[in-house]
Structure 1
Amino acid sequence: MQKDLSKLTAALLAAAKKNGADAADAIAVTGTSVSIDVRAGALEHAERSEGVDIGLRVIVGKKQACVSASDVRDETIQTIAERAVAMAQFSPDDPYVGLADAADLATDRDASSLEMFDPQDEPAAEELEEDARRAEAAALALDGISQVQSASAGYGRRQVHLAASNGFEGGYERSDRGLSCVAIAGTGSEMERDYFGDSRIFQADMMTPEDIGLRAAQNTIARVGARKPKTGTFPVLFDERISSTLLGHLLAAVNGGAIARGSSWLRDGLGEQVLPSNLSVTELPHRKRTSGSRLFDAEGLPTRERAIVQNGILMGWTLDLATARQLGQTSTANASRGVSAPPSPAPTNVSLTQGEQTRDALIKDMGTGLLVTSLIGSSINGTTGDYSRGASGFWVENGEITYPVNECTIAGNLHDMLKSIVPANDARTHLSRVVPSILVESMTIAGA
């Protein structure tokens, strides 16, 4: 299939040149996806999809346009090339558009070294269904669980091939297998639910369905009897399951697109302290068996390890070629793209420095406050950093969890929140974002 994708991108580039494009890049993606849902011991939903998608970006002078299709016939390729060039001619000039210089392109393009694809055969639908049944049964076996809302198993694989008129050509193959379970305790207005799941590139690394179902059930039982917490200003501990959202807000704020638009709360933060001095945020694009890994970005530039934040200091933006040119800097090889849009900057694998304490130790240290295990809705002002989200979890008194809570709001400003964080040591290191539980020194909690 990889050879077929290469032929598709070559045909797209040839058609673009034939129709008058000065430069072009092309992407072809083929994928298979299988999903199975089980409920009450019976198969509730089964879906399988397969397809090939192609995308073409053409550059005419300083104008660009993108066209995509899921039809890969020769006549379709010619048609989208004609349309792309015609669209580009009527587009406004973009002084920052352009492909990478040939001398800067990645030379190592053998993505097999990253182990992003499991060569094991695709699991049969019956095997995925059995996984979901086992997870559901394990959840229902725990006293107090009244039903399982869903037990879902899935598998996916895809191949991506990129090519450009500057001479770049490269591709990679990815796979993933996942299983999740949502359990419910109680009935009516006293109903509570929670979940657990696992997703891996290599199927042999997966947790057992029994472990996943049990974890989902335990998380749910712990929420029984939830009520509103106190209102006031308290420490807030973000559980590892949702702590990566805090890092996500930081990554969004240092994205070159937001910086170029002037719409980031960190637009003037380069070289300034944004985290405690003992913490760093590092991008590691070459980690094996990790979903965000890649040897080259969507513009063919070689990826490399870099410090986004070092010892608390913001070191740089996340850039593709266009945002780098606009900001007068050099691309950090973070271009990402799909078939229907031009490249835009996005991070790969990111890790926050882990702490020395366990989550339980941080709970003891926080005294009185809120342990957040679930976030609901979002009101984040990307320009000012103002933060407000619905939350649920557990109330902590004198360093001990006392009761589950729900229907509350936590609020603060990301400037202040991130400068006071204390990480635990419980991050799951196989994830693309390796972020432990995070204690924020002070937030406003609106509860009872």
Structure 2
Amino acid sequence: MSLTQQNPALTGQSNDQSFENVWQELKWRGLVHVSTDETELEKALAGDPITYYCGFDPTAPSLHLGNLVQLLNMRRLQLAGHKPLGLVGGSTGLIGDPRQTAERVLNTKETVADWVGKLQAQVERFLSFEGDNAARMVNNLDWTAPLSAIDFLREVGKYFRVGTMIKKETVSARLNSDEGISYTEFSYQVLQGYDYLQLHKLYGCSLQTGGSDQWGNLTSGTDLIRKVEGKSVFAFGTPLITNSDGTKFGKSEGNAIWLDAEMCSPYTFYQFWLNTSDADVISRLKVFTFMSREKIEELEREVAERPFARRAQKELAYDVTSLVHGVQATESVIAASAALFGQGELTELDEPTLRAATEELDSVTVPADSMGIIDLLVASKLSDSKSSARRTVTEGGAYVNNVKVTDLDGVITADQLLHGRYLLVRRGKKNLAMVEVAG
């Protein structure tokens, strides 16, 4: 199955006509923070196809929004005609990229191998494996596993200078902390540099991309290739994405926004983007969608002139959710949002979508013999007393599954339960609660 068949939203454009080349487009989208020789890199990307790679470590069973920046960058470069290598680090995942704060907990080899498979499947969804510039998936365990410690130290370690290594930002921060840094994590930059060397030898890879916080690791590869092969290759780093108020991007209620639907439902994912502030929405459109410059500038004017319409946020949420979860899942999410407030059929929502759409509502479990409308309004705390509940019914403000209930003695029957156990109870237009019926 082709990439377009898997996800039409990833078709994109091979080169937005607003730009002379893909490098200029990347810069306009705010995707270039630091790079090796920019002039030569721009020439390389404007010339014959080159091979490039980006690496993802299996430190969790799913990629997240920070990784999505790199995945879409890979897709942009492939649409411009270049050849991607998607690397999932079976060996570097066993070590762990040093964090600013503390040592990582080492996962078991079995766990890492399982996560490698899951991340490979996620990366593959964003690349095309057909045509003259077909993508290729690689695993750095393939070339590190055969190396003995002595071979590694002799053939690779001798090219690295400790003085240079300790100046790397993350390493320096850890060395100056109470936590310190282990030799295991200290050696991570050597492993990543070795990856670039091997990909250069095996596939002629001449560009590595990543986040700017990885710059020390990226340049360890360019330096190693220069020393071993006597050749100049490229690297560039994207900026860390932050919100306009300076807070960290990609967090929701303290939780990472994962790309795996089981770890972050499409509904939650969609709502995250829909809640983007006016100050951030245009930069998000540039980074996380394939919209043309013309379309984004149109939406920018819309934000300035009609911010209340939130058209830019709606298009952002639709596009990014479609990129990650597919158009069908996105349409289901939108239908769920409408159905909660009586603008669609609740009965048409599958159970996972229903649960995701109502997970932030107040919820309560009631026994099967407490399904009278008065009891439901009180149990769900939509009414603070039975007399208040009766008044709500009398005034026409009580709804169960979007159906108005006018009978004070009305009892909900089993055949009205959503998926055999749920009821959406509403008071007025906007006060909602989810009721699960036990038994």
Q: Aligning the two structures, in what range does the TM-score lie when normalised by the shorter sequence?
A: under 0.3
Greater helix fraction, Structure 1 or Structure 2: 2
TM-score by length of 2: 0.21
TM-score by length of 1: 0.21
Structure showing greater Rg? 2
Greater strand fraction, Structure 1 or Structure 2: 1
